[in-house]
Amino acid sequence: MKSYEEKTQQYSTWGDKLLQHTDVLYAIQYEDTFKPVNIQLAPCEVCDSDCPFCSVAGRPLKSYMPFSKIVKMLEDFKTLGAKALEITGGGNPLLYRDREEKKDINDIIRVAGEMGYDIGIITNSEKLERHLDPAVYHYIDWIRISLIKLEEGKHPHDYDFGSFPIERLGLSYIVHASTDGVADPMSRTGKAYSGTTVESIKKVATIVDLNPDLKFVRMAGDVLIENFQPVMKEQWGEILEEMDKHDKIFIKEIWTNEYPYNDGCYVGLIRPYIAPSPEGGDYQVYACTSHVLEKRKYQLDFSLGSIDDVIKIWNDCNRRYQKTGYPYEVRGNKGNDWCESCGLCYYNNNNKILHTVANTMMDKNFA
């Protein structure tokens, strides 16, 4: 049985996977060049849920990325060496529609798959084939479904994964507090949420009972609350272990390591986040997904540049790294003192590994 930490590394982005990309690490250390591995794309901001823990509740809801720009972006990133595409939010990406070009989420999957990208999808849709065409399933490496709809009136038997291979499907549940009968201040629907209860956990376990060949169920705390992960494990850990009959459930084990790595940030060139400007449209390459936790919206302070300039951004950042030792800066920090420039950050481990690779250690051969 794997530990929670091992499952966190396997099923989340928490640093160790970088060690599988020796070509990228070699390029950093010996060629002073950063290359992207995984592109995180938020193709649309519309969503059919109103999570009280939504980290981008203040996003521009009507924004979507034109399909032709998505194609050009994928071509540019492939030129730079990108290997995978994670289709995520913003909103629920399965709702993507470009009415002008008459394209939908299946077209994004198809074009990315034909370019050779590995593809993962994060969604909250309980009925996959309401949106996904089974003809594109062979392009998809995994889908992770957030189970918020269990708090919005859906029941375990309402979840219908269609013909998608169950062994490629993971689930995610965010443990969250009650909103005490009133809506979240940034809610767009005015809906109050009752919060996680023992009954909530039983519903999650029932879905696993109905689908015992699922890859995993990831339990995590509300990212808007500082240091909530250890509190969540203390409160719910025993209950989860008791109900986990199939060894599928794990708690995302990040503990208090939720602050920036102070000496450097590099993850933006390895795992860039593509999303709109704060007011919509004008899609940007953001340095990370964590930056939204500060104000629950996108901030141009953390943009590396326009999506129209992908190759230029990487060239400029690599030249800056070769000249100064840091590839980009935020809020004038000159690539240092990131704890002062950023709020909560879930890429501490990733940046620590990248910093070690990017900076020569004294007596490095005495490993």
At which residue do the structure tokens 């396997």 appear? 10
User: Which pLDDT tens digit goes with each residue over 286-323?
Assistant: 999 999 999 999 999 999 999 999 999 999 999 999 99
Give Cβ neighbours of residue 212 (< 8 Å, ≥ 6 apart): 246, 248
**Cα separation, 190 vs 174, whole angstroms:** 20
Over residues 20-47, the mean pLDDT reads 98
Annotate 50-84 with b (16+ C-beta within 10 A) or e (fewer).
bbbbbbbbebbbebbbebebbbebbebbbebbbbb
Q: How far is CA 59 from the centre of its chain?
A: 16
- Is residue 33 within 8 A of residue 317, CB to CB? The reply is no
Alpha-helical runs (H) found in the chain: 4-11, 22-31, 67-80, 105-114, 198-210, 228-243, 310-324, 338-341, 348-358
Token output for 123: 């969604």
Q: How far is CA 210 from the centre of its chain?
A: 27
Residue 191: exposed, middle, or buried by beta-carbon count in 10 A (0-12, 13-18, 19+)? Answer: middle
3-class state of residue 184 by DSSP:
coil
Token output for 288: 């990370």
Structure confidence at residue 253 (pLDDT): 76
Q: pLDDT class for 126, splitting at 50, 70, 90? A: very high
Least confident of 28-37, 116-125, 242-251: 242-251
Least confident of 169-178, 245-254, 299-308: 245-254
Please give the DSSP secondary-structure letter assigned to residue 306. E
Over residues 43-65, the mean pLDDT reads 97
Q: What angle do CA 149, 190, 104 make, to 5 degrees?
A: 50
Structure confidence at residue 258 (pLDDT): 84
Structure confidence at residue 229 (pLDDT): 80
Give Cβ neighbours of residue 367 (< 8 Å, ≥ 6 apart): none
Average predicted confidence (pLDDT) for the chain: 95
Residue 279: exposed, middle, or buried by beta-carbon count in 10 A (0-12, 13-18, 19+)? Answer: exposed
Q: What angle do CA 361, 261, 177 make, to 5 degrees?
A: 155
Q: Is the pLDDT of residue 256 over 70?
A: no
Percent of the chain with pLDDT over 90: 88
